[in-house]
Every structure is written in structure tokens, then in C-alpha cells.
Amino acid sequence: MSQNLTSEQRTQIDSLIFAGQKIQAIKALRDAANADLLAAKQVVEAREAQLRQSDPEKFTAKKSGCAAVLLFFIAMALLVCRMA
């Protein structure tokens, strides 16, 4: 990660990465280090890869993706059909 960051800034960015909030981590890095978007994105992605190797159990974001949305709509459709 950028050498210009304080330990608090690094901790904040790491916490955002662990929480699955990569966009917010990129924004925080850009604000803290005055980095351009591409450089901040590359740094955050590299840091995420490092953290996934060293501490995979700390990642809290669950990737539900389209499957959860699809299940929700199927459940709603079944509910509507039963009510009709």
C-alpha cells in the first residue's frame, strides 16, 4: 500500500476491503494519498489479494449476486400465485 498513509488510514482501508466495500476503499485511498483512480484501484486490488492470502477468514462480505435476487423474485411470484 502507499507509503504516505498513516496506520489509521491503512487500517480503515483494510477494514473496507475486508467488508467487501472495494469502491469505498478506493475512495478512501484516493482521498488519503491524493492518488488517481487507476492507481488507487490497482493498489486496493493488490492489497485485497494480499489480505485474501494472509487472512481469508476476516472477509465478511457474502457474495449473493443474482442468485439471491432470483430466489426473491421466484418466492414473490409463488406468493402472488397462491393469493390469486
Q: How far is CA 34 from the centre of its chain?
A: 21
Q: Looking at residue 38, what is its pLDDT?
A: 95
Surface-to-core class of residue 4, CB atoms within 10 Å of its CB (0-12 exposed, 13-18 middle, 19+ buried): exposed
Q: Residue 80's pLDDT band (boundaries 50, 70, 90)?
A: confident
Model pLDDT, residue 7: 92
- Provide the pLDDT for residue 58: 86
Could you read off the pLDDT of 30-72 as tens digits, one per residue? 999 999 999 999 999 999 999 999 988 888 755 556 677 778 8
Pairwise pLDDT comparison (11 vs 65), residue with the higher score: 11
Q: Residue 2: its pLDDT value, please?
A: 57
**Looking at the whole model, is its pTM more than 0.75?**
no
